Amino acid sequence: PYRPRPHPCFLTRLLTRFSLSLSFLSQDIRNTVGNIPMEWYQDYPHIGYNLDGKKIFKPIRNKDELDEFLDKMENPDYWRTVHDKTTASDIRLSDEQVDLVHRLQKGQFGDVNFNEYEPSVDFFTNEVMIHPVTNRPQDKRSFIPSLIEKEKVSKLVHAIKMGWIKPRKPKETTPQYYDLWAKEDPNAILGRHKMHVPAPKMRLPGHEESYNPPPEYLLTEEERMAWEQQDAEDRKLPFLPQKHSCLRAVPAFSRFIHERFERCLDLYLCPRQRKMRVNVNPEDLIPKLPKPKDLQPFPTTMSLVYIGHTSLVRSISASPTGQWLVSGSDDCTVRFWEVNTGRCMKTLEVGGAVKSVAWNPNPAVCLVAVCFERTVLLLNPALGDRLVVSSTDQLITSYEPPEEDKEQAVTWALSEGPEHDNGHRLTLTHPKAVKQVVWHGKGDYLASVMPDNSSNLQVLIHQVSKRRTQNPFRKNKGLVQCVSFHPLRPYFFVATQRYVRVYNLIKQELTKKLMTNCKWISSMAIHPGGDNLICGSYDCRLAWFDLDLSTKPYKMLRHHKKALRGVAYHKHYPLFASGADDGSVIVCHGMVYNDLLQNPLIVPVKVLKGHQITHDLGVLDVTFHPTQPWVFSSGADATIRLFT
C-alpha cells in the first residue's frame, strides 16, 4: 500500500529536536519555557528555566563567524554537531541518531527492524461467507424519500423556470468558414501587429484582359517573341491578350489554380507590417576625427632627393642639430649629406654592405656608428662645430686601459694612419654579422644586434668612454630583430619575431612582455615620452602600444599593402611615420596626453609617395628631422627623399 513519505528537511528538524530532547533528559537541564521564539530572551542573560525553576544562563561568549570557520576546519565532529537554540549549546549526535537522519532523508522507515514488505492480511477475503459480517437490520430512512434531496430538486426546477439555468446546447458539427481579412479592426487578432497594413486588393481587370480586346492591346509577333524571352518577374503582363469571336469560345484559364494558390501564399506568408526606417545620417556613424588641417604641421610635399648611392639605401640617421644626414647603402659606402641643400659632403667606403647607421644623439659628441658584416665602426665625420669635433677626438684618445684586461666578446681597435684621416676612430670586431646599431640617449652607450637563433650572444651593449662590452642576457628567447633604449628611464626594449620584452637594466629583470599579434616584427620605435611604442611588421601591420594600459596593442593600423620596413617617432611634434615595400610613407598624428585617463589620439594625415619599387622593395627606413616637422625616407631605388 502507498504510504506518503515526509519531506527530508522536516525529518532532519524533527530528528534534531528529538535528539536534543534526549540529551536534555540525560543531562537534566531541559529548558521548560516551551515552544516559543527564543528571540524573546536575546536581551536577557539567561535563556530559560530548568526543571527546578532555576535560570539557564547563556554561554559567556557567543561564537562569531571566525570561530565558526575555525571550528569547521579543525573540529572533526563539526558535521555531526547541532546547535540548540533553547539552551544555546552545541550537541553532538551519536552514530545511531546520524543513521536515523540518513534513513529518514532517504525516505526509509525510522525503525531498522520494520519490514515494509510483510504479507498483508485481508479482512474481507475473496471467499464467499455464509453469514454476513454484521447482522444489523436496515434503517427506516433507507426506504423513505429524502427531504433534503427534495428541497434541492425544487430549487433547481425554480431556477430553470426563472431562466437562471439554461440547458446546454448541442455542439454544431458543421465546419465554420470565415474570411480571415474581412474585419480588420484594431481589436482583432491582427490588431496586435503595430502599424498593420491591410492586405492589398486585387487589381480590377482592364481592356487587355477582355475576350475581345481592342486591336492596339494585341501583341505583334516581335512583341510576342520578346515577351516569351523575358523572365516572369520582368513581364508587364502575366498573360498574352487574345481575341475571341464570342464569350462561348473563351477557354478556361489554364493557370487559374496556380494563380489562386500563389495569391493565397502571398496573403498568409507575407507579413504586412510597416517597417520603421531609422533615418541615420551616414556621417554620424563615422567617428569624429579632427581634420588634417587642424593637425598641421606635418610633411606633405617632397622637397629634396639625395642622389648618389648606386644600390639600395638600408639605413639613414640625422644629426642632433638637424644640419646633417648620414646614410648607409649596399654599395659599401657611407655618405654624409647637408640636409638643406642635398649636397653630399663626404663619402666613406667600408668593407661591406652597410646594414645600419646611427648618429650619436648627444649634441656634445660628433660620432656616427656604422655596422657592416662583423664590424661596427665609430666615425667622426668632422662636420659642424670644430670644438665638438675636437672634443670628440679628445674623448676617444683620453682613454686609459685598465691594469687587468678582461676578456670581452668584442675586440676594440683604435684606428690609425689613413683610416684615421678618413674619420675612422674605433673599430669593434664582433664574432658574428651585425644587423643593427642603436645609441643610448646620453650618447655613451651603444647596442648592437647579431641575430642568431643558435646562440645566446645576440645583443651586446658597448660603453665608448671605457671601451667595455657586456652581454646583458645569459639566454635569449627567440631570434632578436631589433633593440632600443628607453629615452628617459633605464629600460631596454628587445624585439624578437613576435614579442617585445622590456627589461629593467638596474634591477636586471624582465618587467613586461608585449604581445604584438604580428607574425614577424621588422622595426620598433619608442615615443619620446617613453610610455608608448610602435612596432612595424612584415605582415603589413603597425601596432601601437600604450605601456601603461596593456601588454596587447592599443591600436592596430593596416594602412600599408606590403611589409613595413621602418617606423619612427618625431622628438617634439605629435607625429609618427611608417615606410613599407609599397613605396609609400604614411605620416600619422599620434597625440599622447598628459592626462592618464585620456587615450592617445591616432589619425592618419598623409600618404607620401615618390620612391620607385625595385626588386619588390620600397621604402627601407624612415627618420624624422630632430627639430622640424620633416621626414626622411630611404628606398631600394638608391635615393633618399626629404618630405617637408
179-203 tens-digit pLDDT: 766 665 656 555 555 566 777 787 8
Give the mean model confidence (pLDDT) for residues 619-640: 93
Question: Looking at the domain assignment, is residue 31 inside a domain?
Answer: no
Give just the sign of the alpha carbon dihedral 300, 301, 307, 311: positive
The continuous run of DSSP H or E covering 437 comes out as strand 436-439
The whole-number pLDDT of residue 189 equals 55
Question: Looking at the domain assignment, is residue 503 inside a domain?
Answer: yes
Question: Looking at the domain assignment, is residue 498 inside a domain?
Answer: yes
Give the mean model confidence (pLDDT) for residues 604-623: 91
Residue 525 has pLDDT above 90, yes or no: yes
- Identify the burial level of 321 via C-beta atoms within 10 angstroms of its C-beta, where 0-12 means exposed, 13-18 middle and 19 or more buried: middle
Q: What is the pLDDT of residues 417-470, one digit of tens each?
A: 888 888 888 999 998 899 999 999 888 899 999 988 777 788 999 999 888 898
Mean pLDDT of the chain: 86
Distance from C-alpha of 73 to C-alpha of 410, rounded to nearest angstrom: 63
**pTM beyond 0.75:** no
Distance from C-alpha of 460 to C-alpha of 471, rounded to nearest angstrom: 5
Q: In angstroms, what is the C-alpha Rg of the chain?
A: 50
Contact 304, 632 (CB under 8 A): no
The fraction of the chain above a pLDDT of 70, given in percent, is 91
The whole-number pLDDT of residue 42 equals 85
First to last CA, the chain: 101
Distance from C-alpha of 400 to C-alpha of 467, rounded to nearest angstrom: 10
Give the mean model confidence (pLDDT) for residues 381-407: 85
Cβ atoms within 10 Å of 172's Cβ, excluding its own: 7
Of the candidates 297, 456, 441, 307, the residue with the CA atom closest to the CA atom of residue 363: 441
Question: Looking at the domain assignment, is residue 176 inside a domain?
Answer: no
> What confidence tier does 271 reach under pLDDT thresholds 50, 70, 90?
low
Preceding peptide of 363 cis, ω within 30°: no
> What confidence tier does 13 reach under pLDDT thresholds 50, 70, 90?
low
Question: Looking at the domain assignment, is residue 393 inside a domain?
Answer: no
Indicate the number of domains in the chain: 1
Contact 625, 571 (CB under 8 A): no
Q: What is the pLDDT of residues 464-494, one digit of tens each?
A: 988 889 888 888 788 899 999 999 999 999 9
What is the dihedral angle through the alpha carbons of 230, 232, 238, 242, rounded to the nearest 10 degrees? 40
Give the mean model confidence (pLDDT) for residues 349-357: 91
E strands within 516-574? Answer: 521-526, 532-537, 542-546, 555-557, 564-569
Side-chain-facing half-sphere of 47: CA atoms under 13 Å: 18
Question: Looking at the domain assignment, is residue 373 inside a domain?
Answer: no
Distance from C-alpha of 213 to C-alpha of 598, rounded to nearest angstrom: 78
The domain that contains 345 carries what CATH number? 2.130.10.10
Q: What is the pLDDT of residues 45-80, one digit of tens each?
A: 888 888 888 888 887 767 788 988 898 899 999 989
Give just the sign of the alpha carbon dihedral 389, 391, 397, 403: negative
Of the candidates 507, 491, 508, the residue with the CA atom closest to the CA atom of residue 440: 491
Helix axes 8-27, 95-105, angle to 10 degrees: 160
Q: Determine the structural domain holding residue 587 and report its residue range.
A: 292-353+446-643
> What confidence tier does 8 reach under pLDDT thresholds 50, 70, 90?
very low
Strand order in the sheet with 542-546: 521-526, 532-537, 542-546, 555-557
Question: Looking at the domain assignment, is residue 531 inside a domain?
Answer: yes
Distance from C-alpha of 643 to C-alpha of 126, rounded to nearest angstrom: 116
The continuous run of DSSP H or E covering 515 comes out as strand 509-515
For the chain, the helix, strand and coil percentages under 3-state DSSP, each to the nearest 5: 20, 30, 55
C-alpha cell at 212: 475581345
The whole-number pLDDT of residue 543 equals 94
Give the mean model confidence (pLDDT) for residues 220-247: 89
